[in-house]
Structure 1
Amino acid sequence: MLELVDLSKSYGGRTVLARLSHRFAPGEFVAVMGESGVGKSTLLNLIAGLDTPDSGQVVVDGVPMSSLDDDAATQLRRSRMGFIFQAFHVLPHLTLEQNVALPLLLNGGADTSRARAMLDAVGLKGRGADFPRQLSGGELQRVAIARALVHRPALLLADEPTGNLDPETADGILHLLRAEIRQSGAGAIMVTHSIAAAAMADRTLVLTRSGLQLT
């Protein structure tokens, strides 16, 4: 489903990733850990096609991302991927339900009942008409998680998905992520510093300067 082939990336002359290769099996939930600054978020951005490698390939379902033009790459992201990023990227002028339903609408869907169900699932039942300005940071993170899962993506990319949540809420969100992944047969890559979060995954990889290593 996903393969990294000799992936390299540098910024300002500093090498972040160097000839990284790894194959992720379809439907597996993988946690990626590692020291700050080692390139974990960069790795997610490269997989998503939001950034381009200096060399090497990201191959999704047998298709190199570099072979796709902008429109095709955008369509792939919309239809096949879900994103949970640290910055949330919740749109302030949309209600919570509209924010969560956005992937459905972009993929041609019209039924927003799934969006309401996902808000319920992340503990925000009855808040669909609220706006992001009315929420705490932890609640915004839950909206971002609901939006990432709403269209049942084939590949979920999560960057510290529980970083702003208290332990009890984080545990519930991690169980929701795993349940949604299992139900849809999706693959997931979760960057985390949390040992408790990593324990939810099928396996944990540690990203170092020398590559990805199985713990």
Structure 2
Amino acid sequence: MLELRNLSKSYASGRPVLSNLSWNFKAGEFVSIMGDSGVGKSTLLNLIAGLDTPDAAAGESPIIVDGVPMSGLDDDAATKLRRARMGFIFQAFHVLPHLTLLQNVALPLLLNGLPTERATEMLDAVGLGGRGGDFPHQLSGGEMQRVAIARALVHRPALVLADEPTGNLDPDTAHSILTLLRREIKATGACAIMVTHSQAAAEMTDKVLQLSKTGIQETTIVNPFKQ
């Protein structure tokens, strides 16, 4: 689903953030990425999404999404791929305040020219059925994150990217959010990558990767979902 091939990124000053990262992410896999602050976790998500540009590399594209080399896309093509094949969940929600909950969730469907009926289904799935006419200011933080998850998954993206999605939530709400996210990922067969600093959150994923200055590697966790 997603391939990283010797991916590198440096700051404008020339100081490297990421260096020669390589990893394959599979469809249907829920992966968390942990690491110290400043190691480049959010930068990695932005690079995968095409919101930032990796260092120039000779030969193959360092990022391949669903078989498509990202480096070969112009801005319009990258936007179309991102809109159709990716879903984003941010720590700060980014729910649009001037739109109702139903309009927020339906937005990816409208942008992709798809029927909007599934927006209502997704609001039901996240426990907000019957509240489609409400506005974000009427919600708690946990409820807004549920809207963000519904919006990220409504168009059945192949790749879901989540940046600290439970960072501002209490433990019970965080567990509920991640249970929902995991269930929807497995139901749709999406690949999901979650950046988190929380061991409890990481334990709810299929695989935990540790990002450091020396690279990326899998680490062992106690996972209640593994049999």
**Which residue matches 1:51?**
52
For structure 2, the residue ranges without an aligned partner over 5 or more in a row are 220-227
Which amino acid is the alignment partner of residue 59 of structure 1? Answer: I
Is it true that 1:28 corresponds to 2:32 in the alignment?
no
**Which residue matches 1:90?**
95
Structure 1 range deviating more: 12-21 or 63-72: 12-21
Matches of 1:154 and 1:98, distance apart in 2: 22
Matched position secondary structure for 1:32: strand
Q: 1:167-212 deviations in whole A, cap 9, x for unaligned?
A: 2222122111111111111111111111121112111000001111
Matches of 1:144 and 1:210, distance apart in 2: 33
- Kept in 2: contact 1:7–1:55 (CA 8 A): no
- Kept in 2: contact 1:78–1:106 (CA 8 A): yes
Structure 1 range deviating more: 12-21 or 40-49: 12-21
The one of 128, 132, 135 aligned to 2:136: 132
Please tell me the root mean square deviation across aligned C-alpha atoms, in Å: 1.5
The one of 180, 184, 191 aligned to 2:184: 180
Superposed, 1:1-215 pairs within 5 Å as 1-13=1-13, 14-56=15-57, 57-112=62-117, 114-215=118-219
Matched position secondary structure for 1:52: coil
Matches of 1:55 and 1:86, distance apart in 2: 30
Q: Please state how far the C-alpha of 1:108 moved relative to its aligned partner.
A: 0.9
- Kept in 1: contact 2:142–2:173 (CA 8 A): no
- Kept in 2: contact 1:41–1:191 (CA 8 A): yes
Change (3 A) 1:120 1:164: farther
Give me the TM-score of the superposition, normalised by structure 1. Answer: 0.93
Give me the TM-score of the superposition, normalised by structure 2. Answer: 0.88
Matched position secondary structure for 1:78: helix
Which amino acid is the alignment partner of residue 165 of structure 1? Answer: L
- Kept in 1: contact 2:9–2:19 (CA 8 A): yes
- Kept in 1: contact 2:162–2:194 (CA 8 A): yes
Runs of 4+ in 1 over 3 A off after TM superposition: none
- Kept in 2: contact 1:181–1:188 (CA 8 A): yes
Q: 1:56-83 deviations in whole A, cap 9, x for unaligned?
A: 4211122210101112111111111110
Identical columns (%)? 75
Matches of 1:41 and 1:55, distance apart in 2: 19
For structure 1, the residue ranges without an aligned partner over 5 or more in a row are none
Which amino acid is the alignment partner of residue 187 of structure 1? Answer: C
